[in-house]
């Protein structure tokens, strides 16, 4: 579409095709392209790329375009791709950018979001990078499928923009090479037997997911094959093949999880232990953690140490203080704070995570941690203790709007808010400011190198 045609019409229309340069990328992956004075959001690009895109959404004066083709590389793309399915896979979009440039972009994204949300100084302290850039993930869910309709069986990541096509990720660089070897072994086993993959629309087929968890500091590995109950195979040859792999780490457990749920999530109707145990160990800042299949644990162990060191610094002195750790997961933060606190109470909705937290606290010799299984929204109504400090580490969607007033009602002096989605944090922050808090310190930690995600931390103190 030429500029003259655009000027004649005066307005963009759905289906029209344009070209332009991505000026910047806002969180999480919203590229901003200006065409004839109008800004268009084009996702999945890198700043500086010249792109061709089709207008696919128009709402309230804002246009969105679907990326069709990258016409020219960005000056920021100074590296070759590190895996064979880039850029079709949307997993790590920024891998061709130098890591320093990724950090600068993410820092700008978060800082702008938070400053726009509160309209005042956020006492920004920069961004902290991950200690390792590749092979950092301690957990990965791979999907079974086919790369195209009725194609051969594949196992890996969904093609960018597709909920059906799956690309075999046998050289994924976000994970340790041990995980890639396991993926290839599992895929070949089921290919040889002609096993079918689960089709979401028809609700037919057998293979759903491969979930691998690997301790970065211990090398211990859990392998989970998730299927429906629609077929049956002898898994003993697969177990033998997996145990014979020349891995750097060690497989400590192999599980077969049966999941007949209609939703496309990893969950268990029945779990069969095929080998070893259903947990592994990881260490973090001198503490040992037992992690099971569905326990939440920060996906980048080494960057989590950076994150939690900052959290500990932001909280400061907890001597003789009552600490609430809300959305506590397996109780990592609670246990890091417990040695110098009066008591730490963790609240977490996932019961398996709470069981793990209790076991981990006992294993680490901590007697002043208490973990409660339940929704923060409801549990706060029943707690008689009054906190001196609150730590918040909610899921991606942020704090439940009805839970926020209950948290603010405690009127504690300091609150530390950890967020894995800066837009949720930006949405919640004004409520804290209205309740009399101010942002004392803030920063980001990049736990998710080469991807669009980034972690943020804010210390809120009463004025």
Phi, psi of 306 (to 5 degrees): -65, -50
Please state, in angstroms and rounded to a whole number, the distance separating the CA atoms of residues 9 and 305: 55
Residue 198 is classified by DSSP as P
| Structural contact between residues 17 and 54, judged by C-beta atoms closer than 8 angstroms | yes
Residue indicated by tokens 């409660």 = 372
In the structure encoding, which two tokens stand for residue 347, read together? Answer: 């609240």
Question: Of 4, 10, 34, nearest to 22 (Cα)?
Answer: 34
User: Which entry of 83, 369, 420, 449 is annotated as an active-site residue?
Assistant: 420
Please state, in angstroms and rounded to a whole number, the distance separating the CA atoms of residues 445 and 131: 11
Please state, in angstroms and rounded to a whole number, the distance separating the CA atoms of residues 244 and 251: 10
| Structural contact between residues 187 and 212, judged by C-beta atoms closer than 8 angstroms | no
Question: Of 133, 75, 73, 134, nearest to 100 (Cα)?
Answer: 133
In the structure encoding, which two tokens stand for residue 110, read together? Answer: 């978060």
**What's the number of CA atoms in the CB half-sphere (13 Å) around residue 432?**
29
**What's the number of CA atoms in the CB half-sphere (13 Å) around residue 35?**
31
175-179: long-range pairs with CB below 8 Å, 24+: 175/135, 175/137, 175/140, 175/212, 175/214, 176/135, 176/214, 176/216, 176/248, 176/249, 177/135, 177/248, 178/214, 178/219, 178/221, 178/245, 178/247, 178/248, 178/249, 179/140, 179/212, 179/214, 179/221
Q: Nearest 5 degrees, angle CA 51-CA 52-CA 54?
A: 135
CB neighbour class for 223 (10 Å; exposed up to 12, middle 13-18, buried from 19) = buried
Please state, in angstroms and rounded to a whole number, the distance separating the CA atoms of residues 195 and 192: 8
Q: Nearest 5 degrees, angle CA 49-CA 55-CA 60?
A: 110
In the structure encoding, which two tokens stand for residue 11, read together? Answer: 């307005």
In the structure encoding, which two tokens stand for residue 97, read together? Answer: 């950018």
Question: Of 448, 104, 204, nearest to 304 (Cα)?
Answer: 448
172 is catalytic: no
Residues annotated catalytic, as ranges: 420
């Amino acid at each position: 579409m030429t500029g003259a045609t655009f000027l004649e019409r005066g307005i963009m229309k759905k289906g029209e095709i344009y070209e332009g340069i991505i000026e910047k990328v806002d969180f999480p992956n919203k590229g901003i392209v200006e065409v004839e004075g109008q800004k268009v959001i084009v996702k999945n690009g890198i700043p500086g790329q010249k792109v061709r895109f089709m207008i696919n959404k128009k709402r309230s004066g804002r246009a969105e375009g679907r990326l069709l083709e990258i016409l020219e590389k960005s000056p920021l793309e100074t590296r070759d791709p590190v895996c064979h399915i880039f850029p079709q896979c949307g997993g790590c979009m920024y891998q061709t950018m130098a890591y320093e440039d990724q950090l600068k972009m993410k820092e700008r994204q978060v800082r702008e979001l938070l400053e726009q949300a509160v309209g005042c100084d956020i006492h920004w302290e920069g961004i902290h990078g991950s200690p390792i850039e590749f092979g950092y993930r301690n957990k990965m869910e791979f999907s079974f499928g086919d790369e195209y309709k009725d194609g051969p069986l594949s196992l890996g990541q969904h093609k960018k923009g597709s909920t059906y096509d799956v690309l075999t990720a046998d050289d994924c660089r976000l994970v340790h090479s041990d995980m890639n070897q396991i993926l290839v072994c599992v895929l070949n086993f089921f290919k040889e037997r002609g096993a079918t993959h689960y089709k979401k629309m028809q609700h037919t087929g057998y293979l759903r997911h491969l979930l691998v968890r690997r301790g970065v500091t211990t090398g211990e590995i859990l392998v989970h094959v998730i299927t429906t109950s629609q077929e049956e195979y002898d898994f003993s040859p697969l177990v033998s093949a997996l145990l014979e792999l020349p891995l750097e780490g060690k497989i400590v457990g192999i599980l077969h999880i049966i999941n007949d749920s209609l939703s496309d999530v990893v969950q268990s109707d029945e779990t069969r232990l095929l080998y070893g145990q259903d947990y592994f160990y990881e260490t973090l800042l001198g503490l040992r953690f037992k992690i099971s299949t569905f326990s939440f644990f920060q996906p980048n162990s080494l960057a989590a140490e950076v994150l939690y060191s900052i959290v500990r610094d932001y909280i400061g002195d907890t001597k003789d203080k009552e600490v609430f750790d809300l959305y506590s997961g397996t109780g990592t933060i609670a246990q890091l704070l417990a040695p110098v606190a009066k008591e730490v109470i963790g609240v977490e909705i996932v019961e398996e995570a709470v069981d793990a937290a209790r076991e981990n606290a006992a294993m680490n010799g901590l007697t002043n941690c208490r973990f409660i299984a339940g929704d923060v929204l409801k549990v706060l109504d029943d707690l008689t203790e009054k906190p001196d400090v609150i730590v918040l580490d909610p899921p991606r969607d942020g704090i439940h709007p009805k839970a926020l007033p209950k948290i603010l009602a405690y009127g504690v002096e300091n609150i530390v808010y950890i967020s894995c989605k800066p837009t949720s944090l930006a949405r919640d922050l004004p409520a804290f400011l209205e309740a009399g808090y101010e942002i004392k310190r803030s920063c980001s930690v990049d736990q998710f190198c080469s991807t669009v995600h980034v972690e943020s931390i804010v210390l809120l103190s009463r004025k």
